[in-house]
Amino acid sequence: MEVIKTNIEGVVIIEPKVFNDARGYFFESFSQREFEKKVRKINFVQDNESMSSYGVMRGLHFQRPPFTQSKLVRCVKGCVLDVAVDIRKGSPTYGQHVAVELSEDNHRQFFVPRGFAHGFAVLSETAIFQYKCDNFYAPEADGGISIKDSSLGIDWQIPTESAILSDKDIKHLCLKDFDSPFDYHVNLYPEFE
Protein backbone atom coordinates (compact mmCIF):
# COMPACT_ATOMS: atom_id res chain seq x y z
CA MET A 1 0.00 0.00 0.00
CA GLU A 2 1.10 3.55 -0.68
CA VAL A 3 0.52 6.20 1.97
CA ILE A 4 -0.03 9.74 0.67
CA LYS A 5 0.55 12.50 3.21
CA THR A 6 -1.81 15.49 3.23
CA ASN A 7 -1.45 19.09 4.39
CA ILE A 8 -2.53 18.02 7.92
CA GLU A 9 -0.19 15.78 9.87
CA GLY A 10 -1.66 12.35 10.61
CA VAL A 11 -4.42 12.57 8.01
CA VAL A 12 -3.42 10.28 5.14
CA ILE A 13 -4.77 8.80 1.93
CA ILE A 14 -4.04 5.15 1.34
CA GLU A 15 -3.78 3.61 -2.11
CA PRO A 16 -3.72 -0.18 -2.14
CA LYS A 17 -1.76 -2.16 -4.67
CA VAL A 18 -4.46 -3.52 -7.00
CA PHE A 19 -3.86 -6.65 -9.05
CA ASN A 20 -6.00 -6.72 -12.22
CA ASP A 21 -6.43 -9.60 -14.66
CA ALA A 22 -9.09 -11.09 -16.93
CA ARG A 23 -11.06 -12.32 -13.90
CA GLY A 24 -11.30 -8.89 -12.24
CA TYR A 25 -9.14 -7.49 -9.46
CA PHE A 26 -7.73 -8.28 -6.03
CA PHE A 27 -6.25 -6.07 -3.33
CA GLU A 28 -5.50 -6.25 0.36
CA SER A 29 -7.95 -3.78 1.90
CA PHE A 30 -6.35 -3.78 5.34
CA SER A 31 -3.21 -5.15 6.97
CA GLN A 32 -2.61 -4.35 10.63
CA ARG A 33 1.13 -4.88 10.14
CA GLU A 34 1.38 -2.55 7.12
CA PHE A 35 -0.89 0.08 8.66
CA GLU A 36 1.11 0.23 11.89
CA LYS A 37 4.39 0.31 9.98
CA LYS A 38 3.33 3.12 7.62
CA VAL A 39 0.65 5.12 9.46
CA ARG A 40 0.37 4.54 13.25
CA LYS A 41 -0.41 1.99 15.95
CA ILE A 42 -4.12 1.21 15.90
CA ASN A 43 -6.66 -1.27 17.18
CA PHE A 44 -9.84 -1.23 15.11
CA VAL A 45 -12.81 -2.70 16.99
CA GLN A 46 -15.89 -1.94 14.87
CA ASP A 47 -16.72 -1.93 11.16
CA ASN A 48 -19.69 0.07 9.83
CA GLU A 49 -21.40 0.37 6.45
CA SER A 50 -23.91 2.85 5.08
CA MET A 51 -25.78 3.16 1.80
CA SER A 52 -26.84 6.60 0.59
CA SER A 53 -28.18 8.22 -2.57
CA TYR A 54 -26.94 11.25 -4.51
CA GLY A 55 -27.07 14.47 -2.52
CA VAL A 56 -26.90 12.85 0.91
CA MET A 57 -24.39 14.54 3.19
CA ARG A 58 -23.39 12.90 6.48
CA GLY A 59 -21.40 14.72 9.14
CA LEU A 60 -19.40 16.38 10.29
CA HIS A 61 -19.27 13.84 13.13
CA PHE A 62 -16.97 12.94 16.01
CA GLN A 63 -17.21 11.30 19.43
CA ARG A 64 -16.17 13.15 22.59
CA PRO A 65 -13.49 11.75 24.89
CA PRO A 66 -13.12 9.18 26.30
CA PHE A 67 -14.98 7.59 23.36
CA THR A 68 -13.16 9.44 20.58
CA GLN A 69 -12.58 7.49 17.38
CA SER A 70 -10.16 7.20 14.50
CA LYS A 71 -11.72 6.04 11.25
CA LEU A 72 -10.36 4.30 8.17
CA VAL A 73 -12.95 4.90 5.47
CA ARG A 74 -13.58 3.79 1.89
CA CYS A 75 -16.32 3.77 -0.73
CA VAL A 76 -16.95 0.30 -2.15
CA LYS A 77 -19.72 1.33 -4.56
CA GLY A 78 -20.19 4.70 -6.20
CA CYS A 79 -18.28 7.85 -5.27
CA VAL A 80 -18.13 10.23 -2.32
CA LEU A 81 -16.24 13.35 -1.35
CA ASP A 82 -14.84 12.56 2.07
CA VAL A 83 -13.67 15.28 4.47
CA ALA A 84 -11.74 15.51 7.75
CA VAL A 85 -11.70 18.81 9.71
CA ASP A 86 -9.11 19.47 12.43
CA ILE A 87 -10.99 20.41 15.62
CA ARG A 88 -8.09 20.14 18.10
CA LYS A 89 -7.83 23.40 20.08
CA GLY A 90 -4.32 24.84 19.77
CA SER A 91 -3.53 22.92 16.59
CA PRO A 92 -1.63 24.87 13.90
CA THR A 93 -4.18 23.49 11.42
CA TYR A 94 -7.32 24.07 13.57
CA GLY A 95 -10.38 24.52 11.35
CA GLN A 96 -8.53 23.35 8.23
CA HIS A 97 -9.69 20.34 6.27
CA VAL A 98 -8.58 17.64 3.88
CA ALA A 99 -10.98 16.47 1.18
CA VAL A 100 -10.53 13.39 -0.99
CA GLU A 101 -12.67 11.63 -3.54
CA LEU A 102 -13.17 7.98 -2.65
CA SER A 103 -14.69 5.64 -5.21
CA GLU A 104 -15.14 2.05 -6.26
CA ASP A 105 -12.77 2.83 -9.13
CA ASN A 106 -9.83 4.39 -7.28
CA HIS A 107 -10.04 2.03 -4.22
CA ARG A 108 -8.58 4.80 -2.07
CA GLN A 109 -8.98 4.83 1.69
CA PHE A 110 -8.79 7.81 4.01
CA PHE A 111 -7.51 7.77 7.59
CA VAL A 112 -9.20 10.27 9.91
CA PRO A 113 -7.39 10.43 13.29
CA ARG A 114 -8.93 11.19 16.66
CA GLY A 115 -9.55 14.90 17.17
CA PHE A 116 -11.09 15.41 13.72
CA ALA A 117 -14.67 15.84 12.56
CA HIS A 118 -15.57 13.62 9.62
CA GLY A 119 -18.22 13.74 6.92
CA PHE A 120 -18.95 12.94 3.32
CA ALA A 121 -21.17 13.90 0.38
CA VAL A 122 -22.49 11.34 -2.10
CA LEU A 123 -21.53 12.29 -5.67
CA SER A 124 -22.86 9.20 -7.48
CA GLU A 125 -26.40 7.87 -7.88
CA THR A 126 -25.82 5.67 -4.82
CA ALA A 127 -22.81 4.94 -2.64
CA ILE A 128 -21.91 2.18 -0.23
CA PHE A 129 -19.48 3.49 2.35
CA GLN A 130 -17.48 1.38 4.81
CA TYR A 131 -15.39 2.42 7.77
CA LYS A 132 -13.33 0.86 10.51
CA CYS A 133 -13.37 2.53 13.96
CA ASP A 134 -10.89 2.17 16.80
CA ASN A 135 -13.53 2.74 19.49
CA PHE A 136 -17.09 1.50 19.86
CA TYR A 137 -20.01 3.78 19.03
CA ALA A 138 -21.22 5.63 22.13
CA PRO A 139 -24.42 7.64 21.48
CA GLU A 140 -23.89 9.76 24.60
CA ALA A 141 -20.57 10.98 23.14
CA ASP A 142 -21.98 12.08 19.75
CA GLY A 143 -20.84 15.45 18.52
CA GLY A 144 -20.78 17.38 15.29
CA ILE A 145 -20.09 20.55 13.37
CA SER A 146 -22.41 21.90 10.69
CA ILE A 147 -21.62 20.40 7.32
CA LYS A 148 -22.94 23.63 5.79
CA ASP A 149 -20.49 25.88 7.70
CA SER A 150 -19.18 28.07 4.86
CA SER A 151 -16.26 29.31 7.01
CA LEU A 152 -14.65 25.87 6.60
CA GLY A 153 -14.20 26.53 2.87
CA ILE A 154 -15.19 23.02 1.80
CA ASP A 155 -16.25 22.56 -1.83
CA TRP A 156 -18.66 19.65 -1.42
CA GLN A 157 -19.10 19.33 -5.21
CA ILE A 158 -22.89 19.23 -4.77
CA PRO A 159 -25.33 22.07 -4.06
CA THR A 160 -25.49 22.18 -0.26
CA GLU A 161 -28.78 24.11 -0.26
CA SER A 162 -30.52 20.99 -1.61
CA ALA A 163 -28.44 18.43 0.32
CA ILE A 164 -30.24 15.63 2.14
CA LEU A 165 -29.32 15.80 5.86
CA SER A 166 -30.51 13.98 8.95
CA ASP A 167 -32.44 15.94 11.59
CA LYS A 168 -29.42 15.54 13.87
CA ASP A 169 -26.96 16.94 11.31
CA ILE A 170 -29.13 20.00 10.60
CA LYS A 171 -28.74 21.08 14.26
CA HIS A 172 -24.93 21.05 14.50
CA LEU A 173 -23.21 24.36 15.32
CA CYS A 174 -20.76 26.19 13.09
CA LEU A 175 -17.09 26.00 14.07
CA LYS A 176 -17.03 29.57 15.47
CA ASP A 177 -19.82 28.69 17.94
CA PHE A 178 -18.34 25.36 18.91
CA ASP A 179 -16.27 24.51 22.01
CA SER A 180 -14.03 21.62 21.01
CA PRO A 181 -13.45 18.82 23.54
CA PHE A 182 -10.05 18.09 21.95
CA ASP A 183 -6.71 19.68 22.83
CA TYR A 184 -3.80 19.50 20.39
CA HIS A 185 -1.34 19.15 23.27
CA VAL A 186 -3.09 16.15 24.84
CA ASN A 187 -2.26 12.66 23.58
CA LEU A 188 -5.47 11.27 22.10
CA TYR A 189 -3.98 7.74 21.95
CA PRO A 190 -3.07 7.10 25.61
CA GLU A 191 -3.36 3.33 25.17
CA PHE A 192 -0.18 3.38 23.05
CA GLU A 193 2.01 5.38 25.47
Look at residue 15 and tell me whether its pLDDT is greater than 90: yes
**For 38-92, what is each residue's pLDDT tens digit?**
999 999 999 999 999 999 999 999 999 999 999 999 999 999 999 999 999 999 9
Contacts of residue 61, Cβ cutoff 8 Å, sequence gap at least 6: 117, 118, 119, 142, 143, 144
What was the pLDDT predicted at 153? 96
Mean predicted confidence (pLDDT) in 19-40: 92
pLDDT digits (tens, 9 = 90+) for 112-163: 999 999 999 999 999 999 999 999 999 999 999 999 999 999 999 998 888 9
Residue 182, pLDDT > 90, answer yes
For the domain 45-192, what is the CATH superfamily, name and number?
Jelly Rolls (2.60.120.10)
97 is catalytic: no
Higher-pLDDT residue of 156, 18: 156
Q: Which of 61, 107, 118, 172 is catalytic?
A: 61
The pTM of this model reads: 0.94
Compute the average pLDDT of residues 88-111. Answer: 97
Q: What is the dihedral of CA 7, 11, 15, 16, to 10 degrees?
A: 160
Looking at residue 90, its amino acid is G
What pLDDT score does 99 carry? 98
- Of 107, 118, 131, 172, the catalytic one is 131
Domain boundaries, the chain: 45-192
131 is catalytic: yes
pLDDT band at 193 (very low <50, low <70, confident <90, very high): confident
